Amino acid sequence: MSKKLLIFISLIFIILIQQLNVEAQDTNRIVYMYKTKHQEIDSKIQDLEDKGILVDKINVDQLDYMRYYYIYQEAYQFPDDMQFPIVLSGNDYYIDDEIIPHLETIENNASVPLKSIDHIDIKMVIYFHSEFCGTCHQLKPIIEDIEDDVIVVKIDVDKGNNLQLLFSYAYNYEYYEDVSTPMLFSGDKVYHGYDIEGKVEEIIQNASSKSLEDVNLDDADFTKYKGFLGFLLILFGGLVDGVNPCAMAMLLLFIGLLLGTQASRSTLISVSIAYILGLFTAYFALGAFLMHVLDSIKPYVDNLSLYISIFAIAFSIFFFLFNFYDFIVSRKNEYGKIKNQLPKGIQKFNKKIIKLFTSQIENKSVFKVYMICFVLGVTISLTEFLCTGQVYLPILLAIKQTSGFSGLWLIKLFLYNVMFVLPLIILSIMAIKARSAMETSNVVREKMHWIKLATSILFLFIAIFFTLDLLGVI
């Protein structure tokens, strides 16, 4: 019996010792706030960690971690012009060049509990912005006015994981309408776009660090699917638009006229690429302009995101049916019944323009030839936009819905246009190597029904994407 009692007492003693160790480890804690890596100080902090001291490392330039700097500043009462890095240990703080000389003191004070921040409540808001956001620049004076009364933690969505953090904040605050910059979180409320300008007093009144919700990146995992689906949509859309019969027909007509000259194969390929580069530049510039237009009308249209989704769904269903009909008739080789093509008048105009430009190529310097072909590409891109723009417009809306107006939309727009010209580059190389635009044109004609089917599937995919977005599924 005494042996069992001795074992029981030993177990209780071991548990008590472990509990004391856990408490000691929880107590031995410091906070290390920094902006950039400091090799010598980082090494010394690592040494403290190796000794069993728990170090809360806070990079105040990442995510919304700057909020913790302001909260600890209130607790420790250090001045505004503090230099980083900063170490908090016990009841004291140490800045920059004070850290290494006081390492022993920092280590000893680590056993003293840090000053509590649980009671701290300062007037603070979280503001998401972007350098590529026109509205953000227009609201800059308003944000500066707000800063006179409250602390504004500014987060650039173009850096790191900050865009995902914006979606996480919106998800936590149950805001799904139009997640894009500028967006401000004050207390338990969200302010978007020009709402910020009209509700400055309310923002200042609601500002509270304690009322701001704690947000983790994992809170908005569903947005990754929306972004991924949107990315696939953009790539597939560019590829399908690139095999658009309107775009290919004009390119083959251009190449057919070039083949009548005595130019070498490499020259013909270079000239064709100059023409395609003109197409790329014009479409990219046009896309950027249309995105700017959307940004400009946002302040004047409530629920713009809702209207965009409804329009995109209706537009895509219409062209899905249109192209599916063309798939059926082209499969029967009834090409005269194809509905979705450029009007005859524009087709004749394009042919005249191409013949006019190519007639100017003879006896010109290489630079002038390239410039003529480039300008021709720009011109044709505008005249055939009635056809190729059918895919481009809903894709632009998808880019807007999946990236707001942060710098990410520029990358997506660029990738779309790369995918758009890729089939045209391949087509031009095939035609020039075969020395026959007619032969290549016949191949395209034989595959017409598959092109129409792919286009109709794309429009159906776009309609489904915006429907899921409208319903809040993605």
Over residues 306-344, the pLDDT tens digits come to 777 788 888 888 888 888 888 888 888 777 777 777 677
**pLDDT, tens digit, 9 for 90 and up, residues 402-419:** 665 456 778 888 988 998
How many other CB atoms are found less than 10 A from the CB of residue 147? 13
**pLDDT, tens digit, 9 for 90 and up, residues 142-171:** 999 999 999 999 998 877 778 878 888 888
Q: Are strands 151-156 and 92-95 parallel, antiparallel or unpaired?
A: unpaired
- Name the token pair of 232: 């696939």
Query: Which CATH number among 1.10.10.10, 3.40.30.10, 3.30.200.100, 3.40.50.300 corresponds to the domain 124-218?
Result: 3.40.30.10
The set of residues, in sequence order, having a beta carbon less than 8 Å from that of 214 and lying 6+ positions away, is: none
Query: Which CATH number among 2.60.120, 3.40.30, 1.10.10, 3.30.1490 corresponds to the domain 2-109?
Result: 3.40.30
pLDDT of residue 441: 67
Asked if residue 35 lies in contact with residue 59, where contact means CB atoms within 8 angstroms, the answer is yes
User: How does residue 126 score in pLDDT terms, banded at 50, 70 and 90?
Assistant: very high
Any idea which residue has 């074992």 for tokens? 7
Asked if residue 418 lies in contact with residue 238, where contact means CB atoms within 8 angstroms, the answer is yes
**pLDDT, tens digit, 9 for 90 and up, residues 229-263:** 777 888 888 888 887 777 777 777 777 766 666 66
The set of residues, in sequence order, having a beta carbon less than 8 Å from that of 4 and lying 6+ positions away, is: none
Least confident of 13-22, 82-91, 364-373, 423-432: 13-22
| Beta-bridge partner residues of 272 | none
Domains 2-109 and 124-218 share a fold: yes
- Name the token pair of 443: 């191949």
Q: Does residue 59 sit in helix, strand or coil?
A: strand
- Among 305, 313, 309, 306, smallest CA distance to 180 is for 305
User: How does residue 219 score in pLDDT terms, banded at 50, 70 and 90?
Assistant: very low
Asked if residue 60 lies in contact with residue 33, where contact means CB atoms within 8 angstroms, the answer is yes
DSSP string computed for 128-195: EE-TT-HHHHHTHHHHHHHHTTSEEEEEETTSTTHHHHHHHHHHHTT--S---SSEEEETTEEEETTH
Any idea which residue has 């809040």 for tokens? 472
Q: How far apart are CA 282 and CA 292, in angstroms?
A: 15
How many other CB atoms are found less than 10 A from the CB of residue 306? 13
Domain chopping of the chain, boundaries: 2-109, 124-218, 222-471
Cis peptide preceding 85, ω within 30 of 0 = yes
**DSSP category for residue 424:** H
pLDDT of residue 201: 93
pLDDT of residue 403: 65
Helix H or strand E segment including 390: helix 385-403
User: How does residue 190 score in pLDDT terms, banded at 50, 70 and 90?
Assistant: very high
Q: How far apart are CA 322 and CA 426, in angstroms?
A: 27
Any idea which residue has 């891109």 for tokens? 381
User: How does residue 223 score in pLDDT terms, banded at 50, 70 and 90?
Assistant: very low
Q: How far apart are CA 184 and CA 180, in angstroms?
A: 10
C-alpha radius of gyration, the chain, whole number: 31
Q: Does residue 32 sit in helix, strand or coil?
A: strand
**DSSP category for residue 62:** S
DSSP string computed for 212-225: SPP--GGGGTHHHH
Q: How far apart are CA 467 and CA 471, in angstroms?
A: 6
Model confidence at 22: pLDDT above 60: no
Any idea which residue has 């690139």 for tokens? 242
> Residue 11: what residue type?
L
**pLDDT, tens digit, 9 for 90 and up, residues 71-86:** 999 999 988 877 889 9
Model confidence at 468: pLDDT above 50: yes
Residue 60 φ then ψ, to 5°: -70, -10
Query: To the nearest whole percent, how much of the chain has pLDDT over 90?
Result: 20
